Structure 1
């Protein structure tokens, strides 16, 4: 299987607990990625469904239905795309939605596909509209219409393409147009991981990276990883750095706690930016409600960073609520900052309950 990587993804946020990929992480992530479906940890429902789709296609000797993988970043959508190609013994072609700005970009890629190839489009909801409309025909009829010339003299030439399987990944399934979503035969919704599953992820990564991590240390890393394997693997590498320099290379629970304190990751998996958002919301705005743009200015960050990096986990942790009037701190947020919540402050359901 050959991978073709596209390098024009948008730069990612570089905070330790961002689920987005960091620059320079591609090589180590490739090392840690599972190669087969049997090696993939977590997502049991999606794994079972995908196993049936692939086994059926292999038995019939045809490419499987197009696959859409949806869910937050860092949960394994790219890994599953690579596994699909490996399970089918097919070549994987990789691109991203933002890279397909024109229909011609997509036509060139589709025309180079061999029969049975797997085309992976990351962030497929960001594909340009002309390319998306071309993709409809390619997914359904395995052909594209190439327009030659301009104006009244323009002609459309149908171009047959080899049968292929499209794997699309999106962090915003609601942003997909209906016609595009309907053309996928299988949709897998990726969920955040349980701490027990992340312990297995940490244990597997520690073995591959040759890091000595005891059971309690692995559980501590998993508990602070925000339900996301990418973050768990990143924190494991930071613990390794600390252990090699200050703890003779062995990562105990105490070493993990000391290491993550250095990297500003607290016992609930909040980092400096998370705590800054909560602190501004509580101390500067009395717990809210306050708009996300105003909150971002208060912490010196872009609104998109606050909204996409911090808020999802703070909401899941029951510390922040989104209301029509703005963001509101819950009683859990006040208590986490060591403050007494005002009377009447609601407590939201938390993933720690």
Structure 2
């Protein structure tokens, strides 16, 4: 093998990353209701020769918001401009982006709820009237100069739609709330990815990966690649036994819980007698940032019915104690089964 071989291999891997994303609504797996709604919206806009209405995509990470934005641009036959909320920290940042858009261009802003407030206020007028006002000068001598914009479609993505101000949310013509995927839908996602990888995976193995993927295609594809790596290193096939061995190696259990999930559960049950425990204390006890616990770990544990959020803090549920094969401490029992919490 020559010294230059790793370069094309890296390019091939990058090409695979892009190939995983479906290019049309027909190829997009899951979110059936959202797909039908988007299809009508885009076809109606094309028939009327106008730009599609502004679109808000809301839902947990990894469900396909960025992919859907790319599909909107592809099926509209329009160019796509991509940005993110954290990158727009001043009204001037947004003005620079908006003023450079071409007619009909699709502007995708990921994590739109993290935009600066001044940029949000500028966006109100831009979305409604395709115009922005630029302030020149300061104090009493400041002058507002109106700047007309080319018609565009804003596609915003957010994992926390509750943080969006109402005036901004109301300016979106269509809001799609993405849901977690069923196991059979994830199997179809994995089958497509396995075909692109040239990996022969049997249905029982695909179902095993899908059942541990937390209802999220991004996680399913990531686990599939870890199974591929395990099979490659051990010179075997990606059968059911290989899937179990690979996911055991990477600390993903039968329910999809990983090392950090189990660490949080163990901390609540063992160190804090089942709770309640505050977020900052819990994060410090497992050595993770509060944002990671709140946005990545906690939603899944709550959805699985293993943790309950109460006004006094996080509490391990009876299902968590049964799963661990433990009995809750007497002192913690009232909090666990208090229906008013």
Q: Report what 2:284 is aligned to.
A: 297
Q: What is the CA–CA distance in structure 1 between the aligned matches of 2:197 and 2:205, rounded to whole Å?
A: 16
2:64 to 76, 89, 95: 76
Q: What is the CA–CA distance in structure 2 between the aligned matches of 1:162 and 1:302, rounded to whole Å?
A: 42
Greater alpha carbon shift after TM alignment, 29-38 vs 63-72: 29-38
Q: Report what 2:127 is aligned to.
A: 139
1:319 to 306, 315, 322: 306
Q: What is the CA–CA distance in structure 2 between the aligned matches of 1:114 and 1:301, rounded to whole Å?
A: 43
Q: Report what 2:202 is aligned to.
A: 214
Describe how 1:87-166 pairs up with structure 2 within 5 A. 87-166=75-154
- Unaligned 5+ residue runs, structure 1? 1-24, 349-353
Greater alpha carbon shift after TM alignment, 281-290 vs 332-341: 332-341
The residue matched to 1:212 in structure 2 has which SS? Answer: coil
The residue matched to 2:97 in structure 1 has which SS? Answer: helix
More helix by share: 2
Q: What is the CA–CA distance in structure 2 between the aligned matches of 1:342 and 1:154, rounded to whole Å?
A: 66
Say yes or no: does 1:229 pair with 2:234: no
The residue matched to 1:144 in structure 2 has which SS? Answer: strand
Q: 1:27 to 1:96 in 2, by over 3 A?
A: farther
**How far has the Cα of 1:214 moved from its partner?**
0.7
Q: What is the CA–CA distance in structure 2 between the aligned matches of 1:26 and 1:76, rounded to whole Å?
A: 18
1:309 to 289, 296, 313: 296
**How far has the Cα of 1:130 moved from its partner?**
1.2
Q: Report what 2:243 is aligned to.
A: 256
The residue matched to 1:205 in structure 2 has which SS? Answer: helix
**How far has the Cα of 1:146 moved from its partner?**
1.3
Q: 1:201 to 1:254 in 2, by over 3 A?
A: same
RMSD between superposed Cα atoms in Å: 1.6
CA contact (8 A) 1:202 1:232 kept: yes
Q: What is the CA–CA distance in structure 2 between the aligned matches of 1:58 and 1:284, rounded to whole Å?
A: 59
Say yes or no: does 1:285 pair with 2:272: yes
Say yes or no: does 1:336 pair with 2:323: yes
**How far has the Cα of 1:338 moved from its partner?**
2.8
Q: 1:29 to 1:338 in 2, by over 3 A?
A: farther
**How far has the Cα of 1:120 moved from its partner?**
0.2
TM-score (norm 1): 0.89
**How far has the Cα of 1:210 moved from its partner?**
1.3
Deviations 1:85-110 (A, max 9, x none): 00000000000011111111111111
1:245 to 217, 220, 233: 233
**How far has the Cα of 1:294 moved from its partner?**
1.1
Q: What is the CA–CA distance in structure 2 between the aligned matches of 1:347 and 1:213, rounded to whole Å?
A: 46
- Unaligned 5+ residue runs, structure 2? 1-12
Deviations 1:261-284 (A, max 9, x none): 000000100011111111111111
The residue matched to 2:61 in structure 1 has which SS? Answer: coil
Deviations 1:308-344 (A, max 9, x none): 1110100111111001111111122122223234575
CA contact (8 A) 2:78 2:104 kept: yes
Q: Report what 1:13 is aligned to.
A: none
CA contact (8 A) 1:121 1:168 kept: yes
